[in-house]
Amino acid sequence: VAGLGNYGLRGTRHSVGMAVLDRLARQLLVAEGWRVDRRCCADVALAAAHGLELVLLKPRRFMNLNGLSVASAAKIYSLGPEDIYLVHDDLDKALGKVAIKLGGSARGHNGVRSCISALHSNEMTRLRVGIGRP
């Protein structure tokens, strides 16, 4: 599960994917387990839920390069695009509204575009979190 955002710009609207992952880590009781993984240039926490092993990933890059971290982590943890969930902001959704999307285009989102390019696939499941238009 990759929370897309701009590293170093915590708390901004476009980094809501990272905030969602912080909340998920607390829910899964692994909030203290974040560690820097230099191999994929990301903060990583390992968790388990409902019999599944989860890799929580927050890239330590700007949004338009998030895909490099996601693709590196996919290789390290032997994950295919269909195993990856991207959590990212969506300007076209009202604040707080959430939608799940399987595959398709990036819809203008630079972080998703970066992931599609780096993974050579658009088969990732996406959790789109509404931030509305300014």
What is the set of active-site residues?
14
- Write the CA distances from 86 to 69, 70, 111, 114, 134, integer angstroms: 12, 9, 9, 12, 23
The answer to whether the beta carbons of residues 80 and 86 sit under 8 Å apart is no
**Region for residue 103 given its phi and psi (left: phi exceeds 0; alpha: psi -120 to 50; beta: otherwise):** left
